C-alpha cells in the first residue's frame, strides 16, 4: 500500500448526518444540518457540536442554551441536504418543507417528529476555535421511536435506517454488524457433549 501525504485537514469520515432544531427567545424555530458532532462523555452524558458562528442556529443556541439533535432516516436525505445548504436567515425551512414538530420532554425547543431519535441538549459551553466553534452540551433526554425498541427494551439503531456523511456525500449505514464491542477478546464457548 502506498500512501500520499496531504496537508492537515478535517478528513475524519464518515460522520453522522443530523438535523439540529433550535429556537430563539421569541419562539422562532430553525433547523440545520450538522456533520461535525460527537459523543464527549457518558457520565454525565454530553455531546459536542461544531458550528460556524455565521449560522442562524448558532445565534439561537447561544441565546436560549438549548437545542435538539434529530437523527434522520435515509428517506429524509434530501431534507437533510436542503436544510444544510439553505440558510434560515433567508427562509423558514420548517414551513417550506412542511416538517412536523413535536414538543420535547426536557427542553423548550421542539423535535422533528419524523426522525426516529431525538436528543435534547442543554448548552454547557462554547469554545472558539476558528472557522467553527465547539458547543459542549449535556444530554437531558432522548426520545426513540418505539418501532426500533425490542421487547427487552434494547434500542436497535440499525433498524432506524440512519445515514452518514462522508467527504461530500450521504450514505446509508449498513444494518448488519461486523462485530460487537469486545468480540475480539471474547472467549469461545465450549461445546457440550
Domain spans, the chain: 15-172
CA–CA dist 18, 138 (Å, integer)? 17
Compute the CA torsion angle 120, 122, 126, 131 (nearest 10 deg).
Answer: 20
Give yes or no for residue 189 having a pLDDT over 80: no
Q: Confirm if 44 and 22 have CB atoms less than 8 A apart.
A: no
| pLDDT at position 193 | 62
Give yes or no for residue 179 having a pLDDT over 70: yes
Percent over 70 (pLDDT), the chain = 99
CA–CA dist 57, 68 (Å, integer)? 11
**Residue 57 CA to chain centroid, in angstroms?**
14
| pLDDT at position 175 | 77
**The C-alpha cell of 112 is what?**
422533528
Q: What number is the average pLDDT over the span 109-131?
A: 98
- The confidence band for 8, taking pLDDT boundaries of 50, 70 and 90, is confident
Q: Please write the tens of the pLDDT for every residue from 35-89.
A: 999 999 999 999 999 999 999 999 999 999 999 999 999 999 999 999 999 999 9
Determine how many CB atoms are found less than 10 A away from the CB of residue 49. 25
| pLDDT at position 128 | 97
**The C-alpha cell of 178 is what?**
461486523
Give yes or no for residue 171 having a pLDDT over 70: yes
SS3 189: coil
Q: Confirm if 107 and 44 have CB atoms less than 8 A apart.
A: no
Q: What number is the average pLDDT over the span 151-158?
A: 96
Give yes or no for residue 191 having a pLDDT over 90: no
SS3 61: helix
CA–CA dist 174, 163 (Å, integer)? 9
Instruction: State the chain's mean pLDDT as an integer.
Output: 94
User: What pTM, to 2 d.p., does this model score?
Assistant: 0.93
| pLDDT at position 187 | 81
Answer CATH for 15-172 from 2.30.110.10, 3.30.365.10, 3.40.470.10, 3.40.605.10: 2.30.110.10
Q: Confirm if 138 and 122 have CB atoms less than 8 A apart.
A: yes
In which region does residue 35 sit, left (phi positive, over 0), alpha (psi from -120 to 50) or beta (all else)? alpha
Q: What number is the average pLDDT over the span 91-118?
A: 98
| Residue with more model confidence, 186 or 41 | 41
Amino acid at each position: 500500500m502506498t500512501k500520499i501525504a496531504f496537508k492537515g485537514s478535517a478528513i475524519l469520515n464518515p460522520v453522522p448526518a443530523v438535523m439540529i432544531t433550535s429556537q430563539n427567545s421569541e419562539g422562532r424555530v430553525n433547523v440545520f444540518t450538522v456533520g461535525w458532532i460527537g459523543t464527549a462523555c457518558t457520565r454525565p452524558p454530553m455531546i459536542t457540536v461544531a458550528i460556524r458562528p455565521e449560522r442562524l442556529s448558532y445565534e439561537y443556541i447561544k441565546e436560549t442554551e438549548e437545542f435538539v439533535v434529530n437523527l434522520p432516516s435515509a428517506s429524509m436525505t434530501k431534507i437533510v441536504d436542503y436544510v444544510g445548504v439553505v440558510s434560515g436567515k433567508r427562509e423558514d425551512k420548517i414551513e417550506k418543507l412542511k416538517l412536523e414538530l413535536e414538543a420535547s420532554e426536557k427542553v423548550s425547543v421542539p423535535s422533528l417528529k419524523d426522525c426516529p431519535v431525538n436528543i435534547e441538549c442543554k448548552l454547557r459551553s462554547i469554545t472558539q476555535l476558528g472557522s467553527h466553534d465547539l458547543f459542549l452540551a449535556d444530554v437531558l433526554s432522548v426520545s426513540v421511536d418505539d418501532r426500533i425498541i425490542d421487547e427487552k427494551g434494547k434500542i436497535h439503531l440499525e433498524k432506524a435506517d440512519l445515514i452518514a456523511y462522508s467527504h461530500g456525500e450521504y450514505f446509508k449505514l449498513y444494518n448488519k454488524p461486523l462485530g460487537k464491542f469486545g468480540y475480539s477478546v471474547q472467549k469461545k464457548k465450549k461445546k457440550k457433549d
